[in-house]
Structure 1
Amino acid sequence: MSRPLKIVARVHAMPPEHNAGAEHMLVSMLRPLVERGHDVSVSLSQHGAAREVYEYRGVRVVPLEARIDFAATVRQADIVLSHLECVPSSASLARGFGRPLVVVGHNTHRPTFRDMAAGGTSLAVYNSLWMEREAELFFSEYPKSIRPARSLVVRPPVFASDYATKRGDAVTLVNCSREKGGELLEVLARHMPDQQFLAVEGAYGEQLLPDLPNVEIVEHVDGRDMAARVYGRTKVLLMPSSYESWGRVGVEALASGIPVVAHPTPGLCESLGEAGIYADRNDADGWQALLERLLKDPAEYRLASKRARARSAELDPTADLDAWCDTVEEVAGA
Structure 2
Amino acid sequence: MATAVPASAPGGAAKPLQIVARVHAMPPEHNAGAEHMLVSMVRPLVDRGHDVQVWLSRYGKAHEEYEYRGIRVVPLESRLDFTTAVRRADVLLAHLETVPSTASLARGYGKRLVVVCHNTHRPTFRDVAAGGTSLAVYNSQWMEREAELFFAEYPKSTQPESSLIVRPPVFAEEYRTKPGKAITLINCNEAKGGKVLAALARRMPDQQFLAVKGAYGEQILPDLPNLEVVDHVQGEDMRERVYARTRVLLMPSSYESWGRAGCEALASGIPVVAHPTPGLCESLGEAGIFVDRNDVAGYEAVLRKLLTAAEYRLASKRAKARSAELDPAADLAAWCDVVEGLAR
Report the Cα distance in structure 2 between the residues aligned to 1:212 and 1:181, rounded to whole angstroms: 17
| CA shift for structure 1 position 280 | 0.3
Q: Tell me what 2:180 maps to.
A: 168
Report the Cα distance in structure 2 between the residues aligned to 1:210 and 1:200, rounded to whole angstroms: 13
Report the Cα distance in structure 2 between the residues aligned to 1:304 and 1:61, rounded to whole angstroms: 40
Report the Cα distance in structure 2 between the residues aligned to 1:248 and 1:27, rounded to whole angstroms: 13
Report the Cα distance in structure 2 between the residues aligned to 1:84 and 1:28, rounded to whole angstroms: 17
- Residue 54 (structure 1) aligned with residue 66 (structure 2): yes
- Residue 322 (structure 1) aligned with residue 333 (structure 2): yes
Moved >3 Å (runs of 4+): none
Report the Cα distance in structure 2 between the residues aligned to 1:244 and 1:47, rounded to whole angstroms: 27
Report the Cα distance in structure 1 between the residues aligned to 2:218 and 2:338, rounded to whole angstroms: 38
What are the superposed Cα offsets for residues 104-150 of structure 1, whole Å, 9 maximum, x if unpaired?
Answer: 00000010000000010000000000000000000000111010000
User: Identity of aligned pairs, percent?
Assistant: 75
What are the superposed Cα offsets for residues 153-196 of structure 1, whole Å, 9 maximum, x if unpaired?
Answer: 00000011010001100000000000000001010000100100
| CA shift for structure 1 position 67 | 1.3
- Residue 127 (structure 1) aligned with residue 166 (structure 2): no
Report 1:156-305 matches (<5 A).
156-295=168-307, 297-305=308-316
| CA shift for structure 1 position 227 | 0.3
- Residue 40 (structure 1) aligned with residue 79 (structure 2): no
What are the superposed Cα offsets for residues 198-246 of structure 1, whole Å, 9 maximum, x if unpaired?
Answer: 0000001110012101000000000000000000000000000000000
Report the Cα distance in structure 1 between the residues aligned to 2:51 and 2:297, rounded to whole angstroms: 52
Q: Tell me what 2:163 maps to.
A: 151
Can you give the 5+ residue segments of structure 1 that lack an aligned partner in the other structure?
none
Report the Cα distance in structure 2 between the residues aligned to 1:131 and 1:74, rounded to whole angstroms: 29
TM, length-normalised to structure 2: 0.96
Q: Tell me what 1:17 maps to.
A: 29
Look up the equivalent residue of 1:286 and give its one-letter code.
Answer: G
Can you give the 5+ residue segments of structure 2 that lack an aligned partner in the other structure?
1-11
Match of 1:331 among 307, 319, 342: 342
Report the Cα distance in structure 2 between the residues aligned to 1:73 and 1:326, rounded to whole angstroms: 23
Report the Cα distance in structure 2 between the residues aligned to 1:105 and 1:209, rounded to whole angstroms: 31
Q: Tell me what 2:148 maps to.
A: 136
What are the superposed Cα offsets for residues 21-77 of structure 1, whole Å, 9 maximum, x if unpaired?
Answer: 000000000000000000101000000000011111111100001111111110110
Q: Tell me what 1:109 maps to.
A: 121
Look up the equivalent residue of 1:74 and give its one-letter code.
Answer: V
Look up the equivalent residue of 1:264 and give its one-letter code.
Answer: P
Report the Cα distance in structure 1 between the residues aligned to 2:44 and 2:36, rounded to whole angstroms: 13
Q: Tell me what 1:311 maps to.
A: 322
TM, length-normalised to structure 1: 0.99
Q: Tell me the number of residue pairs that the alignment of Structure 1 and Structure 2 aligns.
A: 332
Look up the equivalent residue of 1:154 and give its one-letter code.
Answer: V
